[in-house]
A and B are shown apart, each in its own frame.
Chain A
């Protein structure tokens, strides 16, 4: 009996590690092979930083990288502002208005990206708009704003709905109450909404491809363009590794911060008894 229990435990752990391995092995391979100068993936020519050097020399790739960051950050900031304001507005509005808006925000989340991209492309054609950074921004906002809304909303629901009124009652103007009382409460939601919209827009291809200016390339569209005629440039391995490292540092930092906060809170609670 005991042996069977132990076997089950081992089985469960093996399963988890297997899944994790499947998830991380490709990334690991990529990282490892970013430190060799072979053109083909899978051939180890000895350790070298050549790809990293090449990466920074490859101007069009660096351009694409810069563009990717630019659109991600700009659309991230704008959609965080729009999504947060939307969530607050909907939260404090009447029920019969709230319900339709809730449903409408679900749609971009489940809708196929290609449908969004195509319909926006057609819309801009009908409006006779020239594709530019602005059209691209609109596309990325449509993609990401719903996710910000969905991240902020639960924070609002968790918040004591009367703290806004309490602030007004104590003499704060509506603006002061919003920024100094409501905002601190929903900040974690706003932040995670920003991160998600950043991520979504960083690796977006479909919408970008349809709505960008022809000369404007992001990493994904640039690679796609190259791949049509040439093999994937090896520098992309270095670029991917850098991107992964940035994300890793970010995630670790957030986890560390949250853990620290939880420990502090726990200590404070213990101090009460």
Chain B
């Protein structure tokens, strides 16, 4: 998007709690009047970012600029922004009118006074009662609550309370309206209605909206611009159309809408191999590179046997209202297909996909590589907060370890490898995860899962904030605590520094 009329800019914003980053290296600018949405799963840092903009949290580092001025150190009550809270946060002891009028008490209006000698002086006064009255009435009208002025907020329904919360914020005419999952507590039908109403309000008021949600459909429906976040980092910034059609990585593809994600290999110029066949595509990647391939379910075409690119067998059919959703098996790989045409379960068909609908992206993870591994005095390798008894003779061809624990190379030199820095690499396939916490070498929590046709790619994060990326056939749940089991024989070690320093 073009930098036109920037109202808010976040530059290298970080937020650190104890040892872990809630928000990392956040860079964003927001144009005036835009409807921008922070989208991501819970715990991705989207609410923390919003709270930093509102002033409830201070960034650990970085700048937040409003109209070019740094507001990072201003308290919330001095920022010309207003927030609509997730659980409304209405004042229970005040009625609807007083709730909405709350913020107007603190507003100052400038007016000019002409002194006797003719000089003009700017003075400040508070709103008069009539002005407050007019503003509150107008706000109530915008949110369709005209007759509710003197009602006790505790007697209102969830949707009505939400409207009061919105009115309470917009009555102050903020430069930016911040909305923290404002529709999260409403039921589905009410939510859909409010989505459209909010969008309409945004259009009418012309205020910049920053909206936080974990609901991808809500984000796609309402936003001009979506910021997809995961694990404290921005994954992608783009219009709803961009994000849906051109997801930057497997996470975004998986999170936005439904998708088939496969591990593929580039085998020629604009030719990619996955699902056991070679496909034409329009993205250019180096030959032999492993890539992630994303195909949307509605882009897979079911054809009579022999007419498509690959043979498949339909194993499941669900009627979804306007379309059917089929699951077809191509070898071991599942393919999700959405189409309005009916097909019978257990029939063999052929599938085809248009080249421009095959989305190819760099793999976020190829293997687990630990750059900061080292060897301790017992010739064991330390990384990811654990000690591993792996074969260190693989560091130099033909080397061995003598009975005193010294490392000897074929040329007869001896080394004491204590503190030697090495790089440890483990293939994603070689790691197992287990729910028996005693079973593995280290325990952690599953923070991300992406289905890749015939297996899940799972990221397990340990307490020391080390990540393991694992390919597994089994279904787990996000936030499960699991143990990670790495066969020590599968850990590949390479030298990171010159070994000669350690010669004795």
What residues of A have a CB within 8 angstroms of the CB of B92 in the complex? 160, 163, 185
Partner of A168, one of B75, B93, B105, B107: B75
Contact status B107-A160, CB under 8 Å: no
Q: Does A100 contact B (CB under 8 A)?
A: no
Q: Among residues 102 to 134 in chain B, which have CB atoms less than 8 Å away from a CB atom of chain A?
A: 102-103, 105-107
Query: Given contacts A162-B89, A163-B91, A185-B92, is CB(A169)–CB(B155) below 8 Å?
Result: no
Query: Given contacts A172-B77, A172-B106, A173-B77, is CB(A167)–CB(B91) below 8 Å?
Result: yes
Contact status B91-A171, CB under 8 Å: no
What residues of A have a CB within 8 angstroms of the CB of B169 in the complex? 169-170
CB closest chain-B residue, reference A271: B155
Contact status B155-A269, CB under 8 Å: yes
Q: Among residues 205 to 254 in chain A, which have CB atoms less than 8 Å away from a CB atom of chain B?
A: none
Contact status B76-A169, CB under 8 Å: yes
What residues of A have a CB within 8 angstroms of the CB of B86 in the complex? 162
Q: Report A155-176 CB contacts with B as 1/0, cut-off 8 Å.
A: 0000010110111111111100
Contact status A167-B102, CB under 8 Å: yes
What residues of A have a CB within 8 angstroms of the CB of B168 in the complex? 170
Query: Given contacts A160-B89, A163-B91, A268-B152, is CB(A170)–CB(B56) below 8 Å?
Result: no
Q: How large is the interface on B (under 10, 10 to 19, 20 to 34, 35 or more residues)?
A: 20 to 34
Contact status B93-A166, CB under 8 Å: no
Q: How large is the interface on A (under 10, 10 to 19, 20 to 34, 35 or more residues)?
A: 20 to 34
A85 to B102, CA, bound (A): 24
Query: Given contacts A171-B106, A268-B155, is CB(A166)–CB(B77) below 8 Å?
Result: no
Q: Does B359 contact A (CB under 8 A)?
A: no
CB closest chain-A residue, reference B165: A166
Q: Report A133-177 CB contacts with B as 1/0, cut-off 8 Å.
A: 000000000000000000000000000101101111111111000
Partner of A171, one of B93, B103, B151: B103
Contact status B152-A165, CB under 8 Å: no
What residues of B have a CB within 8 angstroms of the CB of A163 in the complex? 89-92
A184 to B77, CA, bound (A): 20
From B87, B154, B155, B168, name the one whose CB has the most chain A CB atoms within 10 angstroms. B155
Q: Among residues 157 to 178 in chain B, which have CB atoms less than 8 Å away from a CB atom of chain A?
A: 157, 168-169, 172
CB closest chain-B residue, reference A183: B93
Q: Does A12 contact B (CB under 8 A)?
A: no
Query: Given contacts A171-B77, A173-B77, A185-B92, is CB(A166)–CB(B106) below 8 Å?
Result: no
What residues of A have a CB within 8 angstroms of the CB of B83 in the complex? 165-166, 169
Q: Does B85 contact A (CB under 8 A)?
A: yes
Query: Given contacts A171-B107, A265-B154, is CB(A165)–CB(B56) below 8 Å?
Result: yes
Q: Does B54 contact A (CB under 8 A)?
A: yes
Q: Among residues 442 to 489 in chain B, which have CB atoms less than 8 Å away from a CB atom of chain A?
A: none
A185 to B102, CA, bound (A): 16
Q: How far is the CB of B202 from chain A (nearest CB, A)?
A: 19
Contact status B106-A169, CB under 8 Å: no
What residues of B have a CB within 8 angstroms of the CB of A160 in the complex? 87-90, 92
Q: How far is the CB of A266 from chain B (nearest CB, A)?
A: 10
Contact status B155-A171, CB under 8 Å: no
What residues of A have a CB within 8 angstroms of the CB of B82 in the complex? 169-170
A167 to B98, CA, bound (A): 12
Query: Given contacts A171-B172, A172-B106, is CB(A181)–CB(B91) below 8 Å?
Result: yes
A169 to B81, CA, bound (A): 7
A185 to B152, CA, bound (A): 14
What residues of B have a CB within 8 angstroms of the CB of A168 in the complex? 55-56, 75-77
Q: Report B393-437 CB contacts with A as 1/0, cut-off 8 Å.
A: 000000000000000000000000000000000000000000000
What residues of B have a CB within 8 angstroms of the CB of A268 in the complex? 151-152, 155
Interface SS, A side:
helix
Contact status A272-B155, CB under 8 Å: yes
Partner of B87, one of A162, A170, A272: A162
What residues of B have a CB within 8 angstroms of the CB of A169 in the complex? 54-56, 76-77, 81-83, 169
CB closest chain-A residue, reference B75: A168
From A165, A170, A174, A184, name the one whose CB has the most chain B CB atoms within 10 angstroms. A170
What residues of B have a CB within 8 angstroms of the CB of A165 in the complex? 56, 76, 83, 85, 89
What residues of A have a CB within 8 angstroms of the CB of B89 in the complex? 160, 162-163, 165-166
Q: How far is the CB of A72 from chain B (nearest CB, A)?
A: 29
What residues of B have a CB within 8 angstroms of the CB of A181 in the complex? 91
A265 to B88, CA, bound (A): 21
CB closest chain-B residue, reference A169: B83
Q: How far is the CB of A222 from chain B (nearest CB, A)?
A: 44
What residues of A have a CB within 8 angstroms of the CB of B155 in the complex? 268-269, 271-272
CB closest chain-B residue, reference A267: B155
Contact status B106-A185, CB under 8 Å: no
Q: Among residues 48 to 83 in chain B, which have CB atoms less than 8 Å away from a CB atom of chain A?
A: 54-56, 75-77, 81-83
A170 to B85, CA, bound (A): 12
A268 to B409, CA, bound (A): 88
Q: Report A183-203 CB contacts with B as 1/0, cut-off 8 Å.
A: 011000000000000000000
A168 to B82, CA, bound (A): 10
Query: Given contacts A184-B93, A185-B93, A269-B155, is CB(A170)–CB(B172) below 8 Å?
Result: yes
What residues of B have a CB within 8 angstroms of the CB of A162 in the complex? 85-87, 89
Contact status A166-B85, CB under 8 Å: yes
A185 to B89, CA, bound (A): 12
What residues of B have a CB within 8 angstroms of the CB of A167 in the complex? 91, 102
Q: How far is the CB of A269 from chain B (nearest CB, A)?
A: 6
A173 to B93, CA, bound (A): 19
CB closest chain-A residue, reference B80: A171
Q: How far is the CB of B257 from chain A (nearest CB, A)?
A: 32
Contact status A170-B103, CB under 8 Å: yes
A172 to B85, CA, bound (A): 16
Contact status B91-A166, CB under 8 Å: yes
What residues of A have a CB within 8 angstroms of the CB of B54 in the complex? 169
Q: How far is the CB of B142 from chain A (nearest CB, A)?
A: 17
A185 to B94, CA, bound (A): 11
A162 to B152, CA, bound (A): 19
What residues of A have a CB within 8 angstroms of the CB of B93 in the complex? 184-185
A265 to B107, CA, bound (A): 33
Mind listing 12 A-B residue pairs with CB under 8 Å?
A: A160-B88, A160-B90, A162-B87, A163-B90, A168-B77, A169-B54, A169-B55, A169-B169, A171-B106, A174-B77, A185-B92, A268-B155
Please give the residue numbers on chain A whose beta carbons come within 8 Å of chain B beta carbons, in ascending order.
Answer: 160, 162-163, 165-174, 181, 184-185, 265, 268-269, 271-272
Instruction: Return the 9 tightest CB-CB contacts between A and B, nearest first.
Output: A170-B103, A171-B106, A162-B89, A166-B89, A184-B93, A168-B76, A169-B83, A168-B77, A162-B85
Known interface pairs A170-B169, A171-B107, A173-B77; 13 further A-B residue pairs with C-beta atoms within 8 A, sorted by A's residue number:
A162-B89, A163-B89, A165-B85, A166-B89, A168-B55, A169-B55, A169-B83, A170-B82, A170-B168, A170-B172, A171-B77, A172-B77, A172-B106
